[in-house]
Chain A
Amino acid sequence: MSTSAGAFETLELRGVARSFGGREALADLNLTIRAGEFIALLGPSGCGKSTALNCLAGLLPLTHGSIWIDDSQRIDVLPSERRDFGMVFQNYALFPHLTVEKNIAFGLQMRRLPRAEIDRKVADALALVRLEEHGKKLPGQLSGGQQQRVAIARAVVVEPRLVLMDEPLSNLDAKLRLDMRTEIRRLHQSLGLTTVYVTHDQEEALSMADRLVVLREGRVQQIGTPEQLHDQPANWHVADFMGYRNLLDVELVSLSGADARVAGHGFELSATASQRVTAGDTVKLAIRPSDLVVASARGQAPASGNVVDAVVEVVEYQGREFAVDVTTRTGTRLHVRSDFAPTAGENVRLSVDPARAMVFSSSLDSEAAAELAAVGA
């Protein structure tokens, strides 16, 4: 199987927006998808990511904007059934009255392919998702993971020019989710698909996608590769989503270039400004748990002076390291990592590399977001 002749070089969303009864669910989405890319739309529930996907699929009409293929063909005016996109739904949406084979054959039948070709392609697709022996079963007789594989086979068997996936793994258990992640990525690569994948799980998005689009309240916060988002979040919201679990409101004491000095919660730290901020402002300080390390092991002095004193509250064993919750002198709770197990109640000293302590503006206004989205794209 390979992508169809209807494949494209680029698919472009221009100012796509969608409102529901006056409420803006998605605003001004600009995105260019290149053939073969794996794009993840990421955000908390209600951020507009599913709306964006449904607009792309043609299941929701756009309120504003347009969608173009190769700059020449406008497709947002086409009904869903003529866009030639495959879609995988969150609850699989398998036809309960049709066998697995007939579910997969459905799209091929709609394209009026000859019977023999349909049979061959269905068999190929079943083999692709390793469900050969389940072809004659009804969807209700399969497990969740198997149903999801049928849904994927059904979407890709028609060789769509774009595959849309709406949180396809959210109904599966943790282990299966990991397996299916690999499976989907494998299919994407081996079939040369172009995929738009919606998820609220940042880990899933980071591990699967070539590029991520982070949405918040219907607006793009940042577009970039997993590395860009992981290392250079555009604002504190993206940072929050990318695992910067320590987000503190602090005061920006001084600023020279990107070197910032912040104070609050009973400590003062050197940090790096990642957004346009002014000294004297209340800003957001973002630090990953893994960058905030328990440095003072039984009186051992930390290397740099960039330290916070705290008391250990909860210690959680997580395989190779320990996740530790500590509180500072003013009672602020911080999440940190440690490669040894401190005891609860122990006084510890935490150290952080100034380059890994990021300072963001506390406002998330659209102006800043738009500016950063442009940088990301």
Chain B
Amino acid sequence: MTSIATKPPKSSASLKHRLAERGIDARLWLLLPAIALALGLFVYPFAYGFGLTVQPLSSTVDTYGGGIFANYVAFFKDSFVFDSVWITLRLALPAALFNVVASIPLALKLRRRFPGKRTLQALLVLPITLGTVLTAQGLLIFLGRQGWLNRFLVDAGIVDEPVQFVNNYLGVFLSLVISGLPFAYLLISSYLSGIDPVLESAAQTLGAGWGARFRRITLPLLAPGLATTFILTFVLAFSVFPSARLVGDASGSTRVLALMAYRSFAEQLDYSMASTIAILMGVVELIVVAIVFFGRSFLYRGSTGGKG
């Protein structure tokens, strides 16, 4: 049998109609602003930046070799630079995970109506409006060695000397939670509102206690949303810069990639190395995102019965 025999008869509609059927019509020009923006503000600078990375300083080529790819060789060979990949991941992964995990009970609890819900919600979401610099400054004033909390703890005799809350890993972690948790909470509660509550009622009438209902029904339906939320807060945390400098330990435990790129650019005046770090930062993020999305592809992603 030839394949022609099984084909449906050729459409008798006009060319215009057939093109429209495939989504090609006159209103495609509505996409123009987006295309112009993408080209002008992303593709061109990105290509330009990549171009910079293959124009290493002669000193880099002399030290690491590798010709035009000397910057890349330097990135992987110079442990001072490469270690900051792990430093950044050590900060961003736990922070993103904490934001997601802590948001689940919040979103679950705030799904029902209760007195004071709006106030609590507003308080939860408010930090989103604070800039990172403001957050960092606040953390220093509140948690610093001379901060209110330490003064209270010392005066109350709970500790003998001020506790080191900031200018270390913990400080940056806290700032990532302050800025990331509202995001995670908002996203997860919107995913949660897409799950029909009657599913939980059904599970309940079938004998499932709240633990089983959460584990067997809510969590599996929420999981794809959790993965997406994780990725978004991870990306936010991975590019942390102001707080790593202001409330972190910029030369030690919070020597993140963004700081390294900034240092190359502003202190060593090595524009090409700074671009290389920025590009590889993106690559690391993409790897994490790819792994999470790969895992997500095994989850149920169809309708969850709700209106979301």
Residues of A within 8 A of B201 (CB): 57, 59, 80, 87, 89, 93
Quick one: CB contact mask for A147-170 with B, threshold 8 Å, 1 for yes? 000000011001000001000000
- State whether the Cβ of B11 lies closer than 8 Å to any Cβ in chain A: no
Residues of A within 8 A of B199 (CB): 93, 95-96
B300 to chain A, nearest CB (A): 3
Residues of B within 8 A of A91 (CB): 196, 198, 305
Residue in B208, B220, B303, B305 whose CB lies within 8 Å of A106: B208
Residue in B212, B221, B300, B304 whose CB lies within 8 Å of A110: B212
Residues of B within 8 A of A93 (CB): 196, 198-199, 201-202, 305
Residue in B198, B204, B206, B304 whose CB lies within 8 Å of A154: B206
Quick one: CB contact mask for A83-96 with B, threshold 8 Å, 1 for yes? 11111010101111
Residue of chain B at shortest CB distance from A166: B198
- State whether the Cβ of B205 lies closer than 8 Å to any Cβ in chain A: yes
A283 to chain B, nearest CB (A): 43
Residues of B within 8 A of A255 (CB): none
- State whether the Cβ of A298 lies closer than 8 Å to any Cβ in chain B: no
Cα separation A330 to B158 with both chains bound (whole Å): 92
Cα separation A298 to B261 with both chains bound (whole Å): 102
Cα separation A11 to B206 with both chains bound (whole Å): 19
Residues of A within 8 A of B198 (CB): 89, 91, 93
> A140 near B203 (CB under 8 angstroms)?
no
Residues of A within 8 A of B302 (CB): 96-97, 138, 140
- State whether the Cβ of B216 lies closer than 8 Å to any Cβ in chain A: yes
Residues of B within 8 A of A86 (CB): 205-206
B222 to chain A, nearest CB (A): 10
B87 to chain A, nearest CB (A): 38
B197 to chain A, nearest CB (A): 10
Beyond A91-B198, A93-B199, whether A80 also contacts B205 by CB under 8 A is yes
> B196 near A80 (CB under 8 angstroms)?
no
Residues of A within 8 A of B202 (CB): 87, 89, 93-95
Beyond A91-B305, A97-B221, A106-B216, whether A57 also contacts B207 by CB under 8 A is no
- State whether the Cβ of B217 lies closer than 8 Å to any Cβ in chain A: yes
A91 to chain B, nearest CB (A): 7
List B294-308 residues whose CB lies under 8 Å from chain A: 300, 302-305
- Of the listed residues B202, B208, B304, the one surrounded by the most CB atoms of chain A closer than 10 A to its CB is B202
A157 to chain B, nearest CB (A): 9
Residues of A within 8 A of B205 (CB): 57-59, 80-81, 83, 85-87, 155, 164
B111 to chain A, nearest CB (A): 15
- State whether the Cβ of B105 lies closer than 8 Å to any Cβ in chain A: no
- State whether the Cβ of A111 lies closer than 8 Å to any Cβ in chain B: yes
A305 to chain B, nearest CB (A): 57
> A96 near B300 (CB under 8 angstroms)?
yes
Residues of B within 8 A of A158 (CB): 206-207
Q: Sample 13 A-B pairs with CB under 8 A, ordered by A number.
A: A57-B205, A58-B204, A79-B204, A86-B205, A94-B202, A95-B216, A95-B217, A96-B300, A96-B304, A97-B221, A106-B206, A155-B206, A158-B206
Q: Please give me the 8 A-B residue pairs with the lowest Cβ-Cβ distance, nearest first.
A: A97-B300, A107-B206, A110-B207, A93-B202, A87-B205, A80-B204, A93-B198, A81-B207
Known: A59-B204, A59-B205, A86-B205. 7 other contacts (CB 8 A): A79-B209, A80-B204, A85-B205, A91-B196, A96-B302, A110-B207, A155-B205
